[in-house]
């Protein structure tokens, strides 16, 4: 059996007719950028997440760096972020000239909130929380710290569409929630896309202007902005997918549950979910001291896995200028050596799931 780590074609096939109609209608409408579909998607997405506003942008990375730009966080400022994240989280900070202050993760792969306070200096302006792999971080405590020290709170929800903490969705705890609609995400478009969500009208208004060359009114430009617009075809497709997102999430949960009850191998540590938190299981990430051999063994059995992520940002070439060394963040570095993401995707058959479980249980 051949099993890919992700299969975008399966979900497409389940709802093919709706997607095709949405694209054709958009093509025939004659409006391709910032039209009816973007406006409607923004409303529908804000409503789904439980925020007042959503603004479509061109990618998750754009959502992040524009979020920091709107808040005026840049040169001379510091932002606290977990060390074990996708590098885009960190780039969102550094594109603006701000400095990341890395914090080690907890056992749930999220920011260890006990470690935030001791990092705060007079230059610290914000905390960027990443709801990694689809699980909401410990938001009550993080919100409290941000209030206490008067820090902005930005949430990277690129992997966590619909994840909840205490019944409230990721993206609604802080000043700004940043989403990606990259195709492999749970709410993935058919190309690039992203959004910011917020309850604050000033932020909504500024991002709307900023994403379109800094203009509210055509050819009258208030600030040096960006071209970062969600396009109509992606918005039309996202409107369709949003209607199926609860089913998509549910399917991911069923698969994760099968793995968690079916996988029994002493060499493997299974992922867990924090009390009061939910996961939308964007990834199902196991840990194994013998990870590379396990990945190779699964590959031989036809099962593709992925490592999210092999190089932590502080050790990546891009951030060599921050002068971190191996050993700076031991937990993060250990995770980078041990994590392995198993196949999880909408439309994954029971046979496929059982095959993955069987092969992992046979690993010695
Ligand atoms: C995917 C991702 C991003 C970036 O999103 P793009 O749309 O690819 O730019 C940012 N942060 C995290 C945690 C991600 O997984």
Q: What are the tens digits of pLDDT across the range 251-268? A: 999 999 999 999 999 999
DSSP 8-class letter at 325: -
Q: What is the pLDDT of residue 85?
A: 98
Count how many Cα atoms sit within 13 Å of the Cα of residue 49 in the half-sphere of its side chain: 31
How far is the centre of ligand 1, averaged over its atoms, from the C-alpha of 150 (Å)?
27
Neighbouring C-beta atoms of residue 13, cutoff 10 Å: 12
Looking at the CA of residue 184, tell me the nearest atom of ligand 1: 1
DSSP E strand stretches across the chain: 53-57, 78-82, 99-103, 124-130, 152-156, 164-165, 168-169, 176-180, 194-198, 215-217, 220-221, 268-269, 284-288, 339-342
- Asked whether 158 lines ligand 1 (CB < 6 A), one says yes
- pLDDT value at position 81? 98
Cβ neighbours for 41, distance < 8 A, ≥ 6 positions apart: 54, 56, 230, 235, 236, 238, 239, 242
Would you tell me how many other CB atoms lie within 10 Å of the CB of residue 206? 21
User: For ligand 1, is residue 128 a contact (CB within 6 Å)?
Assistant: no
**Lookup: tokens for 63:** 């959502």
Q: What is the mean pLDDT of residues 106-122?
A: 97
pLDDT at 194: 98
pLDDT of residue 291: 98
Query: Are 19 and 12 spatial neighbours (Cβ–Cβ below 8 Å)?
Result: yes
Question: How many whole angstroms from 273 Cα to the centroid of ligand 1?
Answer: 22
Instruction: Pull the structure tokens for residue 125.
Output: 């302006």
- pLDDT number for residue 286: 98
Average pLDDT over residues 42-47: 98
Distance 181 CA to ligand 1 centre (A): 8
Looking at residues 324-340, what average pLDDT do you find? 98
Contacts of 330 (CB under 8 A, 6+ apart): 104
The pLDDT score that the predictor gives to residue 26 is: 98
Q: Contact at 8 Å (CB) between 113 and 140?
A: no
Q: Token pair 């510091």 is at which residue?
A: 78
pLDDT at position 86, please? 98
Average of pLDDT values for 101-130?
Answer: 98
The finding on whether 182 has its CB within 6 A of some atom of ligand 1 is: yes
Kindly report the number of other CB atoms within 10 A of residue 203's CB atom. Answer: 21
65 Cβ inside 6 Å of ligand 1: no
Query: Which residue CA neighbors atom 12 of ligand 1 most closely?
Result: 158
Q: Which residue has the least CA distance to atom 4 on ligand 1? A: 60
Residue 161 pLDDT level (bands cut at 50, 70, 90):
very high
Q: Is the CB of 194 under 6 A from ligand 1?
A: yes
Average pLDDT score over residue span 298-303: 98
Binding site membership of 11 for ligand 1 (Cβ less than 6 Å):
no
Angle (CA) 103-107-111 rounded to 5° is: 30
Q: Identify any residues that bridge with 99 across adjacent strands, giving them in sequence order.
A: 78
Evaluate: CB of 159 within 6 angstroms of ligand 1. Answer: yes
The mean predicted confidence, pLDDT, of the chain is 98
The structure's pTM equals: 0.98
Give the angle 98-174-310 at the CA atoms, nearest 5°. Answer: 55
Dihedral sign for Cα atoms in the order 17, 18, 19, 25: positive
Residue of 97, 81, 99 lying closest to 89 (CA atoms):
81
Q: pLDDT per residue over 201-237, tens digit each? A: 999 999 999 999 999 899 999 999 999 999 999 999 9
Nearest CA to ligand 1 atom 2: 158
pLDDT band of 103, cuts 50, 70, 90: very high
């Amino acid at each position: 059996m051949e099993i890919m780590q992700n299969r975008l074609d399966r979900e497409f096939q389940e709802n093919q007719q709706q997607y095709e109609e949405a694209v054709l209608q958009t093509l025939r409408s004659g409006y391709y950028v910032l039209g009816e579909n973007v406006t409607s998607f923004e409303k529908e997405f804000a409503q789904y997440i439980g925020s007042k506003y959503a603004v479509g942008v061109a990618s998750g990375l754009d959502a992040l760096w524009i979020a920091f730009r709107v808040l005026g966080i840049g040169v001379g400022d510091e932002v606290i972020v977990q060390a074990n994240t996708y590098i885009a989280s960190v780039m969102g900070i550094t594109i603006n000239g701000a400095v990341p202050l890395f914090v080690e993760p907890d056992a749930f792969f999220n920011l260890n909130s006990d470690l935030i306070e001791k990092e705060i200096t007079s230059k610290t302006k914000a905390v960027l929380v990443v709801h990694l792999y689809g699980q909401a971080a410990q938001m009550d405590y993080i919100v409290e710290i941000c209030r206490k020290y008067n820090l902005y709170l930005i949430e990277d929800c690129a992997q966590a569409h619909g994840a909840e903490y205490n019944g409230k969705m990721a993206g609604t705890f802080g000043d700004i929630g940043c989403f990606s609609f990259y195709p492999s995400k749970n709410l993935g478009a058919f190309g690039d896309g992203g959004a910011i969500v917020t309850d604050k009208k000033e932020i909504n208004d500024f991002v709307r202007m900023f994403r379109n060359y800094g203009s509210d009114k055509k050819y009258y430009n208030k600030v040096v902005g960006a071209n970062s617009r969600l396009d109509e075809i992606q918005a039309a497709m996202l409107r369709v997918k949003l209607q199926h997102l609860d089913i998509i999430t549910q399917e991911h949960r069923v698969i994760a549950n099968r793995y968690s009850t079916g996988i029994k191998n002493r060499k493997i540590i299974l992922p867990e979910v924090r009390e009061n938190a939910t996961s939308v299981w964007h990834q199902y990430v196991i840990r194994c001291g013998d990870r590379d051999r396990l990945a190779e063994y699964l590959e031989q059995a036809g099962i593709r896995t992925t490592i999210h992520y092999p190089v932590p940002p502080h050790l990546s070439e891009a951030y060599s200028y921050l002068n971190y060394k191996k050993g700076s963040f031991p937990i993060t570095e250990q995770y980078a050596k041990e994590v392995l993401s198993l196949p999880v995707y909408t439309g994954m058959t029971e046979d496929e799931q059982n095959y993955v479980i069987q092969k992992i249980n046979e690993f010695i």
